[in-house]
Structures are given as C-alpha cells and as structure tokens.
C-alpha cells in the first residue's frame, strides 16, 4: 500500500505515485475525486496565522509563475510546508509545494514532460499520422509505386523495373541525401527516366520541370540548335502552343528524338 502522506503529496503535485505491479492501476478519475477531498484538509492561507519565510509570489520557476499562496499542508498529513498556486506558460494552473519549486522538481503543469516524451519517441518528426511532411509523403509514394503491384502507377515504375536503391529504403538516409523540398510544389524527379531512384539520379523538381523530362515530351529544335519542348518554346517566344505547332509545320522548328537534360 502507498503511504497516505506520500499519496497526498503526489496528488497535490498532480503526478501519480509509483505503484508496484501488484497494486491497483492508477485511475485518473479516482485520483481526481481523492484530490478534491484531500484539498479540503489543506489549511487556506486566509485561515492560517503562519507566515512564509520567503514570499514566492510573482517568481518564475521554469514555465511556472507563482500567483499566490494557496495554503498550508496540515501538519498531521505533511510537513506543514506552503502550497502555492501557479500558472503554467501553457495556461493551466497547478498547486505546488514550495520545496518542489525551489528545488526544481516542478517546472511545468506537466506539459513539458509530455513534450519530452513525444520528442524522445520521435525519430525524425516527418511521419506523424495527422501531419506528414511533404518529404515523407514523396518518399512513401516513391516506394509504393516501385514495390506495390496494387498501386495504380506501378506498371509505369515497378512494372518497368524501376527500383528504389537499398540506401533509400531508410527515410532518414533519403532525407540526408535529398534535403528538404525547396517549395511545397516540388516533388522527386528522376533525371534518367529509365534509371532507378538513387542519389545520383534524383532531384527535387516542379511539375513543369518534370514535364520537360518525361519520355513522352516532344523535343523541338530551331535552326541554331536550341532544343526545348513545345510548352517551353511557347513561353520562350511568348506565343501560344498553336502558333508553335504551325511553326513546326512550316519547318521553322524541327522535331527531334534526342533527350535533353535540364
């Protein structure tokens, strides 16, 4: 069994006590009911003649700012130390013993500990269920279309023999090689469309850049040897695509089959 005074202290500090494996599991609802009952045994500051040795009002301890003296632990239940009402930076309020404040045992309402647990259990922070990063989504889709025959785009990737290199099966190594996306509009692009997904053959590119790099894009060359796809010529000459097609029919631009790297 947990000693009553120890249990009281843990409740006042809003942290569960250490319970042996044979003891009943800590129940937050029961703890709340017990806490409400025990707080009635705390002597309010307004009803006590005791004077604090050191006024902590207004002082900050970690994320906690002391608002006021709440009261005193009854001597038969504790050591008679002062209880202070504090407000955490996150907005929650908490009652804390003076000794826990001055010795640094309590620095928040519990939010800091929660954040530490999340940080310690997260490898890279890109794969949270409700907030996946763009880099992680690109990596996951890349693996899927190369290894999952049920994926709609598998025939154009895994079905053609396109693979993900062994190194990039680990997301952290993929991110280390590729870095973060320059903008949310960028996605992963293979420089050689017949090559695999590997560091030497991949880059972040926009949809327009990728369009210029597909096998289906028709390359057009002018009489000076300049080669671009139709849409790039339209932007370069400030003309609409229909005008560019007429230029091809007149022989001003020549269709070529060579591949260009951008």
Give the model's pLDDT for residue 123: 57
Same domain (yes/no): 94, 154: no
| Exposure letters 38-65 (e unless 16+ CB within 10 A, then b) | bbeebbebeeeeeeeeeebeeeebebbe
Residue 37 lies inside a defined structural domain of this protein: yes
Q: Of 91, 119, 147, which closes a domain?
A: 119
In a domain, 102, yes or no: yes
Provide long-range contacts, Cβ within 8 A and 24+ apart, for 154-160: 160/194
Do 252 and 190 share a structural domain?
Answer: no
Q: 139 in a domain, yes or no?
A: yes
How high is the pLDDT of residue 259? 39
- pTM exceeding the 0.85 threshold for the entire prediction: no
Are residue 115 and residue 144 in the same domain, yes or no? Answer: no
Same domain? 29 vs 115: yes
Q: Is the dihedral of CA 55, 59, 61, 65 positive or negative?
A: positive
Same domain, 229 and 194: no
Q: 126 in a domain, yes or no?
A: no
Q: Which of 119, 148, 181 is the last residue of a domain?
A: 119
Residues 55 and 153 in one domain: no
Shared domain for 20 and 88, answered yes or no, is yes
Kindly state whether residues 196 and 90 are assigned to the same domain: no
* Residue 129 resides in a domain: no
Assigned domain for 125 exists: no
Residue 193 shares a structural domain with residue 234: no
Indicate whether 251 and 192 sit together in one domain: no
In the sheet with 227-229, reading across from the earlier edge strand, the strands are: 227-229, 219-221, 254-256
pLDDT of residue 163: 93
Q: 112-121, long-range: CB within 8 Å, 24+ apart, which pairs?
A: 112/62, 112/63
Q: Which DSSP letter does residue 30 get?
A: H
Q: Mark residue 78 as left, alpha or beta (left: phi above 0; alpha: psi -120 to 50; beta: remaining).
A: beta
Give, for all 262 residues of the chain, the pLDDT tens digit.
Answer: 344 444 444 444 444 444 444 344 445 544 444 455 555 567 777 777 777 788 899 999 988 999 999 888 765 544 567 889 999 998 999 888 888 898 888 888 888 887 777 655 555 555 555 567 888 889 999 999 999 998 888 998 999 899 999 999 988 899 999 999 999 888 898 887 778 999 998 999 887 777 666 555 567 778 887 877 777 777 788 888 788 888 888 888 887 754 333 3
Q: Which of 66, 91, 119 is the last residue of a domain?
A: 119
**Whether residues 149 and 177 fall in one domain:** yes
Do 36 and 138 belong together in one domain?
no
pLDDT at 252: 86
pLDDT of residue 116: 72
Q: Is 128 within the bounds of a domain?
A: no
Contact 85, 72 (CB under 8 A): no
Beta bridge partners of 211: none
Q: How far is the C-alpha of 137 from the C-alpha of 134, rounded, in Å?
A: 5
Count structural domains, the chain: 3
In this structure, is residue 261 part of a structural domain?
no
**What domain range includes position 241?**
219-256
């Amino acid at each position: 069994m947990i000693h009553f005074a120890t249990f009281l202290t843990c409740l006042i500090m809003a942290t569960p006590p250490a319970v042996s494996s044979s003891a009943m599991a800590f129940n937050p609802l029961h703890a709340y009911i017990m806490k409400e009952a025990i707080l009635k045994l705390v002597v309010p500051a307004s009803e006590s003649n005791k004077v604090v040795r050191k006024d902590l009002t207004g002082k900050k301890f970690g994320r906690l700012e002391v608002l006021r003296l709440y009261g005193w632990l009854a001597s038969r239940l504790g050591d008679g130390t002062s209880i202070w009402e504090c407000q955490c930076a996150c907005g929650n309020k908490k009652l804390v013993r003076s000794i826990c404040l001055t010795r640094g045992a309590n620095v928040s309402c519990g939010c800091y500990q929660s954040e530490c647990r999340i940080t310690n259990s997260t490898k890279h922070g890109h794969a949270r269920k409700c907030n996946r990063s763009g880099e992680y989504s690109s990596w996951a889709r890349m693996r899927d279309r190369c290894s999952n025959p049920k994926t709609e785009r598998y025939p154009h990737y895994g079905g053609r023999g396109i693979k993900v290199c062994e190194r990039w099966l680990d997301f952290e190594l993929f991110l280390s090689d590729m870095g973060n996306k320059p903008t949310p509009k960028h996605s992963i692009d293979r420089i050689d469309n017949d090559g695999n997904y590997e560091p030497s053959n991949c880059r972040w590119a926009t949809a327009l850049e990728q369009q210029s790099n597909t096998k289906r894009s028709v390359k057009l060359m002018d009489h000076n040897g300049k080669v671009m796809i139709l849409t790039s010529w339209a932007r370069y000459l400030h003309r609409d695509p229909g005008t560019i097609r007429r230029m091809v029919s007149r022989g001003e631009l020549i269709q070529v089959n060579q591949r260009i790297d951008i």
